Structure 1
Amino acid sequence: MAEAYERFRPGYPADLFDVVTAYAGRPVLSALEIGAGTGKATRLLARRGVAVTATDPDGAMLAELRRQVPAGVTTVQAAFEDLPPGDGTYGLVFAAAALHWTDPAGRWERVARLLEPGGVFASFGGPVQLADPTVGEAVRVAREPFLASDDVPSPDGTPPENDMQWPGTELERSEWFGDVRQVEIERRLTMSAADYVGHLSTVSAYLVLPPADREQVFQQILRVLPDTVEIAADVTAHLARRALP
């Protein structure tokens, strides 16, 4: 899957770095990424001079990451819960479309202990959706016999119409963080139909299907797509500051 993640998942816009550093209000010198995958977010920071420690439990993901990021990036093969207890080392801890894989029990205390006082936590991601509603409906109909929805539900049950979405909702309730903000970065992309289906092959709702069903639903979707598709790939960033002792 590491090769598919690297090939088909969109990277992150340069504006995202500016959003994080403007919120921090000071230079971000060191950072740790939770669930770095193939390093699409790691490289955004590392290429701006941030000393990044990229963590992921999957060795194949980290091997692909090392092929893509600057040589100075440190890698640690471990799940977030298995990292050594934090000692306030980092100015930034961040997760890019990976936080929902972490254990909610003690999550924010573990993050806070990795951060220096006043350090910043950032989470960012967002769905990759077809921009044309007519094409989207055709895909929904093609997918329906195999999968009612490929949406990722909010981990804490926050309805999609709420102004503040998860994990901002959890951060607002946490004693470890304050000054919680949600920032939207609009983005439109164009990709081939084959690459869009390739992206779907990395989405968990499809990954859990039986292999035969997964192959069949991808063929059904491919049949109803035009040669190229416009994608709405907006990025939502949640930012919070570690509360001072």
Structure 2
Amino acid sequence: MSRVFGEVAALYDDIRLGYPGELLETLVAYHGGVPAPVADVGAGTGKATELLLELGVPVIAVEPDPRMAAVLAQKFPGVETVTAAFEEWTPPPGGVGLISCATAWHWFDPRTRVQRVRAALQPRGTLAIFHHRHGYADPVQQRTIDAIHQAIDPAQTVDDRPVDWARTDLEHSGLFTDIEVHEWHWHPVFSTEQYLRLLQTFSTFRLRSPAAQRRTVTGLSAAIDGWGGSLRMDIHTVLVVGRAAA
């Protein structure tokens, strides 16, 4: 499952949104300065890596899919790119000051992910788990799009987890303290073509049959064209941070 995006690595890198600069400012303030070194685990094509490079410290990017890792390495030759699953990665001696996990925490083994992250961090190091929730600014459009997906794939369920669901992992582990949640909303506008390209990078879409994918594209294309050929998104960015217990 964690390698499903490699089939569209270039498209993923081109159309997926990065992360707001305010997120990095929040991380530095929370950490109490610039952490070093930094590891971006489940790094994909480097959407979060690009933001972390603004810290001006060594960055390690860990990504299991070689196709995604190749895009990242080409874009950022100064980054130490490790093509391996997070569970197979060996952190540097002494650990890292910050571990960033962007839109990947759910791909890691829930039985061991918190313990592995804690073991890879320096004492009092920071863990930052963040992701986007892709919603729609207009509630009518939101309901229409949900209905199109449900009609084609009745088994697909709406993500009803709390937006800060990763917080529970850290709280229950006893391995992290000072846990905080930060949120941002932003509203980019996508044309029909842009949105359909974005759609092709979602795992829920990629795991459908080719016929179901075609029906999804046809239904969404008609809906967005009917709204004037553009769609105003509601991108909800959620950051959960915790400090490694001493």
TM-score computed with the length of structure 1 as normaliser: 0.90
- Tell me, what secondary structure is at the counterpart of 1:186? strand
Aligned residue number for residue 213 of structure 1: 212
Task: Measure, in 2, the Cα distance between the counterparts of 1:86 and 1:146.
Answer: 46
Aligned residue number for residue 165 of structure 1: 164
Q: In structure 2, what residue type is equivalent to 1:73?
A: V
Q: CA deviation at 1:88?
A: 3.4
Task: Measure, in 1, the Cα distance between the counterparts of 2:137 and 2:174.
Answer: 39
Q: CA deviation at 1:37?
A: 0.4
Q: CA RMSD in A?
A: 1.7
- Of 166-175 and 93-102, deviating more is 166-175
Q: In structure 1, what residue type is equivalent to 2:218?
A: Q
Identity of aligned residues (%): 32
Aligned residue number for residue 157 of structure 1: none
Task: Measure, in 2, the Cα distance between the counterparts of 1:122 and 1:116.
Answer: 14
Q: In structure 1, what residue type is equivalent to 2:138?
A: D
Q: In structure 1, what residue type is equivalent to 2:143?
A: E
- Segments of 5+ residues of structure 2 without an aligned counterpart are 1-7
Task: Measure, in 1, the Cα distance between the counterparts of 2:209 and 2:216.
Answer: 11
Task: Measure, in 2, the Cα distance between the counterparts of 1:85 and 1:96.
Answer: 18
Aligned residue number for residue 70 of structure 2: 63
Q: Which structure features the higher share of helix residues?
A: 2
Residues 17 and 45 of structure 1 are in contact (CA less than 8 Å); yes or no, is this contact kept in structure 2?
A: yes
Q: CA deviation at 1:140?
A: 2.4
Aligned residue number for residue 58 of structure 2: 51
Q: CA deviation at 1:100?
A: 0.3
Task: Measure, in 1, the Cα distance between the counterparts of 2:33 and 2:158.
Answer: 36
State whether structure 2 residue 84 is matched by structure 1 residue 78. Answer: yes
Aligned residue number for residue 120 of structure 2: 114
Aligned residue number for residue 240 of structure 1: 242
Q: CA deviation at 1:152?
A: 4.0
Aligned residue number for residue 140 of structure 2: 134
**Count of aligned pairs between the two proteins:** 235
State whether structure 2 residue 24 is matched by structure 1 residue 22. Answer: no
- Of 235-244 and 100-109, deviating more is 100-109
- Of 191-200 and 51-60, deviating more is 191-200
Deviations 1:181-228 (A, max 9, x none): 110122111111221122121111111111111122111111101311
Q: CA deviation at 1:153?
A: 5.3
Task: Measure, in 1, the Cα distance between the counterparts of 2:160 and 2:80.
Answer: 32
Instruction: Label 1:140 to 1:166 Cα distance change in 2 as closer, same or farther (>3 A).
Output: closer
Deviations 1:58-109 (A, max 9, x none): 111011112333x321100000111126643210001000010000122111
Task: Measure, in 1, the Cα distance between the counterparts of 2:158 and 2:74.
Answer: 31
- Segments of 5+ residues of structure 1 without an aligned counterpart are 155-159
Task: Measure, in 1, the Cα distance between the counterparts of 2:159 and 2:57.
Answer: 31
Task: Measure, in 2, the Cα distance between the counterparts of 1:85 and 1:49.
Answer: 20
- Of 85-94 and 123-132, deviating more is 85-94
